[in-house]
Amino acid sequence: MNDGPLIVQSDKTLLLEIDHARASDCRKAIAPFAELERSPEHVHTYRLTPLGLWNARAAGHDAEQVIDTLLTFSRYAVPHALLVDIAETMARYGRLRLEKHPVHGLVLASSDRAVLEEVIRAKKVAGMLGARLDDDTVAVHPSERGNLKQALLKLGWPAEDFAGYVDGEAHPIALETDGWSLRPYQIEAAESFWHGGSGVVVLPCGAGKTLVGAAAMAHASATTLILVTNTVSARQWKDELVRRTSLTADEIGEYSGTSKEVRPVTIATYQVLTTRRKGAYPHLELLDARDWGLIVYDEVHLLPAPIFRMTANLQARRRIGLTATLVREDGREGDVFSLIGPKRYDAPWKDIESQGWIAPADCVEVRVSLPSSDRLTYATAEPEERYRLASCAREKVSVVRRLVEKHAGAPTLVIGQYLEQLHELAADLDAPVISGETPVKERQRLYDAFRSGEVGLLVVSKVANFSIDLPSAEIAIQVSGSYGSRQEEAQRLGRLLRPGTPGPDGTPKTAHFYTVVSRDTVDADFAANRQRFLAEQGYAYRIVDADDL
């Protein structure tokens, strides 16, 4: 027994004592391979999963490193059976390989004949494989490259893809670093992706994921298709590429609900690509409109199901996914792994903060109590109505007003989900509202006014969660959200983490992230789930009573 902060259990859970002096070091060490499950005040629970271990393996961590980390930080002896399981699970990655063959094109090869025999006989891969070439190799239909990788992952034998990529149509793209340069972690992220050929880069909001995408484009120097969440994001990508690269505005096309330009670099929204007409997706032909050399998936954790299906057919194209969190509320992290690629680079938020690239954050949950009459209404409501009733509690309006007054003069975002609540808050605060109903031009005008300081307070719906660059925001007040969404928490916190002008002493200004929650309701339950994300990233959060503000 040693004085470590970690208890490693045979059921693959890891218990981390938060108040321990070595807890921060331990959290950083286990983050590449363990997923946080619960984060109450004193002990956080992590879990070892095959996907987490395979992602670590793909990112260059081996079983010896993982085992050494557990032995170093564990307070008690680590169960031997668990160590064996970790080694065997990580050894499964790459036992099967997709490779190019001079005659047969694409083949599945293995150094373990028994594994190959097992998967050949699996019903899930029936129809994807061709002739048996020898004891260790079987032909693969090229069109099934993505589907086969998905199926093998589900069988527990993730294939390492060495089949290579087509270069696509060449198009010169260079970074123009006059007066600026890529940060060291951005260079590492782009090079880690390029070395792997496809995969996901995980970086905090505000850490410059767009520039990592631009660096990947410069590596490829080829026609590029960029998929983004919305039209505002598409235009921000275009502006950034024109500013930071050799590309001109005429070389970049927008493919959205209002524009259908196909150019050497084309930025398309997920929404337009997944528009259905008579059961078909007419805009998916964009994927074959050019010989793309690179496909960029912005906010890859939001990828819609139809995009997964079409990505299965794009395995010969280099693909990079950009995200602040690999957590998907639909549980399809395995599809991201098999179809976009494994995690190639992951920079912990607190590490980037300690280097001064993103602002430090103070995270506070403010709890309000429902009055007796509202508690009775809540208690007798249908389950699906309770979250809305708790989220839209009238008591939140006065709390938000007091928080805005407390930080008067600081650029502030009030963020919520329910339009009626947002309009009530906007009226009370005399502030403009941005929602899905706001025309794109008006959204851009208000965002620009916020960036310039002309407008200091915005009330925004979830349309502002994703890919919106508001570097001046210092305060966020969250009043309602998408149930217990950790990915949403990542995006909302990320709105604040662009480092602003340093304070008088030269240190970065601290961002303030408030969540106003109705106690003793599902609102508080969902808030606890969202807080797992904060704990995952190393942020402490305080819980205060509204009366103590």
Per residue in 392-439, pLDDT (tens digit) is: 999 999 999 999 999 999 999 999 989 999 999 999 999 999 998 898
Domain that holds residue 209: 184-347
Residues 66 and 136 reside in one and the same domain: no
Higher pLDDT, 499 or 327: 327
161 closest CA partner among 181, 177, 146, 143: 146
Contact criterion met (CB below 8 Å) for 538 and 349: yes
Which of the four pLDDT bands, split at 50, 70 and 90, describes residue 504? Answer: low
Three-state DSSP class for residue 43: strand
pLDDT tens track for 325-380: 777 767 889 999 999 999 999 887 777 878 888 778 888 999 999 999 999 999 99
d(CA 198, CA 211): 17
pLDDT level of residue 494 (50, 70, 90 thresholds) = low
Q: Both 105 and 231 in a single domain?
A: no
Name the domain count of the chain.
4
CA 385 to centroid of chain Cα atoms: 29
The dihedrals phi and psi of 2, each to the nearest 5 degrees, come to -125, 180
- Distance in Å from the first CA to the final CA of the chain: 44
On whether residue 506 sits in a domain, the answer given is yes
Average pLDDT over residues 441-470: 83
Backbone angles phi, psi at 142, to 5 degrees: -55, -35
- Specify whether 116 is located in the same domain as 82: no
* Residue in this structure with the two tokens 């919520």, named with its chain if needed: 416
Q: Encoding tokens for residue 85? A: 């399981």
Task: Please report which confidence band the pLDDT of residue 487 belongs to, taking 50, 70 and 90 as the band edges.
Answer: low
For residues 140 and 189, state if they share a domain: no
User: Is residue 519 situated within a structural domain?
Assistant: yes
Domain membership of residue 18 (yes or no) is yes
Helical pair 209-220 and 231-244, crossing angle rounded to 10 deg:
60
d(CA 466, CA 463): 7
Residue 192: what pLDDT? 94
Q: Which of 347, 373, 395 is the last residue of a domain?
A: 347
Please check whether residue 286 lies inside any domain of the structure: yes
Q: Is residue 298 part of a domain?
A: yes
368 plus 458 within the same structural domain: yes
Q: How far apart are CA 181 and CA 152, in angstroms?
A: 41
Length of the chain: 549
Q: Rounded CA gap, 377 and 371, in Å?
A: 10
- The structure tokens listed for 53 are 């271990």
Distances (CA, A) of 502 to 272, 454, 493: 41, 20, 19
Q: What percentage of residues in the chain have a pLDDT greater than 90?
A: 59
Task: Identify the weakest region by mean pLDDT among 52-66, 311-325, 522-536.
Answer: 522-536
* Rounded mean pLDDT, 474-483: 82
Type of residue found at 110: S
pLDDT at 395: 94
More confidently predicted of 351 and 45: 45
Tell me the mean pLDDT in the region 279-300.
86
Average pLDDT over residues 99-122: 94
Q: What is the DSSP letter of 284?
A: G
Question: Which of 128, 161, 194 is the C-terminal boundary of a domain?
Answer: 161
Whether 175 is covered by a domain: the verdict is no
Confidence band (pLDDT; 50, 70, 90) for 476? Answer: confident
Residues 299, 391 share a domain: no
User: Does a structural domain hold residue 170?
Assistant: no
Q: Which helix (H) or strand (E) holds 131?
A: strand 129-134
372 lies in the same domain as 435: yes
Identify whether residues 318 and 211 lie together within a single domain: yes
**pLDDT for the residue 412:** 93
Residue 177 lies in a domain: no
Encode burial over 361-392: b for 16+ CB neighbours within 10 A, e otherwise.
bebbbbbbbbeeebbeebeeeeeeebbbbbbb
Residue 266: predicted pLDDT:
96
Query: Which residue matches tokens 């996901």?
Result: 200
CATH number at residue 243: 3.40.50.300
DSSP state of 77: P
pLDDT of the residue at 352: 84
Quick one: 114 and 82 in the same domain?
no
pLDDT digits (tens, 9 = 90+) for 203-212: 887 788 999 9
The pLDDT value given to residue 468:
60
The pTM (predicted TM-score) of the whole model is 0.79
pLDDT class for 486, splitting at 50, 70, 90?
Answer: low
387-401, 475-489, 499-513: least confident range: 499-513
Q: Is residue 334 located within the same domain as residue 225?
A: yes
Structure confidence by residue, pLDDT tens digits, 4-17: 999 999 999 999 99
What is the structure's pLDDT at 503?
54
Which residues, in sequence order, are CB contacts of 4 under 8 Å at separation 6+? Answer: 20, 22, 26, 72, 73, 74, 75
**Based on the domain organization, do 399 and 523 belong to the same domain?**
yes
Task: Say whether both 196 and 287 belong to one domain.
Answer: yes
